[in-house]
Amino acid sequence: MCYNSILNNRKTAIFMKNWLKIVLIIALGVSSFAYGFSVSAQISVYNIQIGDIKDGQAILKWTTNDYARSEVYYGLEATKLDKKLSYPAKKIHQANLYGLEENKNYYYQIILYSNDGEKTTLYPRSFSTKDMLDTQAPSFIDHQVIQTVGNAVAISWEASEKVAAEIQYYKKGDSTKKTTKKISSYKKYHEYFVYNLDTYSEYYIKITIHDKAGNKKSATLHVNIYAQFNKASVINIKNIEPISSANNLVSTNQATIKFETNLPTKSYIKYGADPNRLTKKIQINEAQISTDHEVTIKELKPDTTYYYNISVYGSLYKKKAEVKGLSFITKKGAVLGIKDAANNPDDDNDKLSNSFEITIGTDPQDSDTDNDGYRDGTEVQNGYNPFGPGQWNKKIDFFYGQPRLDLKYEQSKATELKKAVDKKIPYIYISPSTWQMLINAYSYGDYPIDAIVMYIKLDGYTVHPDIDWHTWKNSPNYLKYAKYIK
């Protein structure tokens, strides 16, 4: 091979080698460019502003360099941002923060999500509602006449926010003679007494409420005055319950006390296990006056006598009243029905008597009615269902041969009986033991109201404590006095 040919081949090889280098460099450059293009850019946020803070709201604005979904969290604590707002993908963003209280410091945090799902979390920021504007008038949630007594009236109103008020009242047809009263305390709920109104007259009472920013709202009540009130009259506390251990409002560890007053009042009770030291006090309706009063005392001890006094106050004409020396006994905590086996046959030896099992429906000849491996007595004593899986809360007493019914049913029947008896024989005293017997007769023995009323009048005879009415009504003792029953 000649020298020139060898030289040309060598030049060709060098050229090809250099060409491959160029191609490789271009390929690497294109590859790097492609890689850089596939990675999404970091979401950048700028121009964060919060303003237009008024009427319990604020507007938060910010801008991003690319489209991004957003979430805004805010609240009164930096570590507990308990309110959340979500918005679709945008570049120019706005969030309306609502439910803001005046004169508070609020914290907020913005979280952004790019189209590729990349998350950007901004650090928490804060703003103050100290100078928040209030341009909205408060609204009435409720306004009413509570009671008209003689020539006085008790009214109340509730607003959507804390308000003060101005009261104007005037007689129908004579609006030129208005009496104006101002109430300076800021509260959501108000009560007010209007006195010295003219007898047998109609009045309009205008209530104008205003918030601290001066926004106002008005409402008007219409009242009829029929007669003068005898200021020597007193508050009557009536229909007090409970009055005995047998009352259905009393259980082993709690008691519900109920009573009524002839005037709407506030009230409280004092109670304790020592009649000379009633150390515990419970407010009943401290927030607003009422003629119906009810409170439940909890965490009491079983089979214990508790004593209590009732005090009422804050009524029209500033009347007060008190009833002392009341008491009740909490029920025993024993499981009902278990002791029944001690003095009665128990053929299957499951610690439940035959008669008890017949009453509740288990098999007196089978110690394990549901065949789950546990005796019927063991399940009943420990609160489990002797008929199948799960707990069983059925309580059994025996009244006229019937199992005990639901407690709410008993309470409704007792209330029903009391109202009927009060209507037919007002102001009658009935001993606690007799009253419970009559409740049982009415609820379980199917005795009618008239038979029970006649029993009270005759001091016996027309109600039997153990024999139901359908049997007893045919007895000579009942028939002897049946003629007195209407």
Residue ranges and CATH numbers for the domains of the chain are 45-127 (2.60.40.10), 140-225 (2.60.40.10), 237-329 (2.60.40.10), 339-381 (no CATH), 407-484 (no CATH)
If we measure between CA atoms, which residue out of 428, 431, 418 comes closest to residue 243?
A: 431
pLDDT class of 283 with cuts at 50, 70, 90: very high
pLDDT tens digits, one per residue of 100-114: 988 899 999 999 999
Q: 3-class SS at 416? A: helix
Q: 3-class SS at 117? A: coil
Q: What average pLDDT does the segment 230-245 reach?
A: 73
Instruction: Give pLDDT, residue 392.
Output: 60
Between the alpha carbon of residue 307 and those of residues 30, 116, 303, 350, 372, the distances in Å are: 94, 72, 13, 41, 46
Query: pTM of the full predicted structure?
Result: 0.50
| 290 pLDDT more than 80 | yes
Q: What are phi and psi of 416, to 5 degrees?
A: -60, -45
pLDDT class of 319 with cuts at 50, 70, 90: confident
Instruction: Give pLDDT, residue 485.
Output: 67
Q: What is the dihedral of CA 111, 112, 116, 117, to 10 degrees?
A: 20
Q: What average pLDDT does the segment 430-438 reach?
A: 78
Pairing of strands 152-171, 140-149: antiparallel
Q: Which two tokens stand for residue 323?
A: 């009833």
Please give the mean pLDDT across all residues of the chain.
Answer: 80
Instruction: Give pLDDT, residue 357.
Output: 67
Name, in order, each residue with C-beta under 8 angstroms of 342's C-beta and a sequence gap of 6 or more.
Answer: none
DSSP of 403-430, one letter per residue? Answer: ----HHHHHHHHHHHHHHHHHHSTT---
| Sequence-ordered alpha helix ranges (H) in 39-122 | none
| 93 pLDDT more than 50 | yes
Q: What are phi and psi of 37, to 5 degrees?
A: -70, -30
Polymer length of the chain: 486
